[in-house]
Structure 1
């Protein structure tokens, strides 16, 4: 009878240790999940902020202003437009 009691005691201790280990792992994973979700929310907010900033940077007026000031570009007009005529096809290229 003592052998069975010892075996049962060892089984109970082993299952208790396994339960403690499993609960610890569960808490650790939950903490990591929560931290990851928080980081995901921060990244989503940063992405939205950058999208708004990107839309603000790409407005036509801003692009035109930079083109004029930094690139010294000017609006196309018939006076500065050069037209190129297509050359006639060569006789041997049939």
Structure 2
């Protein structure tokens, strides 16, 4: 009888250790899931902020401002435009067919 009692005691102890280990693992995994959700939420808010910034940078007014300041472009008007006459290559070389 004592052999069965000893075997049952070992089984109870092993069962208790497995229970403690599984509870520890579940808490650890829950913490990791919580951290991953917080990171996903942070990344989503960063993504939304970056989309808003991209939209703000792509407005026509912003593009025109950058073209003036960085590229030194200006609005066209008849005073600064130059016309170009297209001459046919045959007529330019003086050879007639």
The TM-score normalised by the length of structure 2 is 0.77
Partner residue in 2 for 1:72 = 72
> What's the CA shift string for 1:60-89, capped at 9, x where partnerless?
11111111121012346783476878979x
> What's the CA shift string for 1:37-75, capped at 9, x where partnerless?
011101101110111011001111111111112101234
Call closer, same or farther: CA 1:86–1:35 in 2, change over 3 Å. Answer: farther
For residues 6-85 of structure 1, what are the structure 2 equivalents within 5 Å?
6-75=6-75, 79-80=81-82
**Which has the larger Rg?**
2
Q: For structure 2, which runs of at least 5 residues remain unmatched after alignment?
A: 91-97
Aligned length: 88
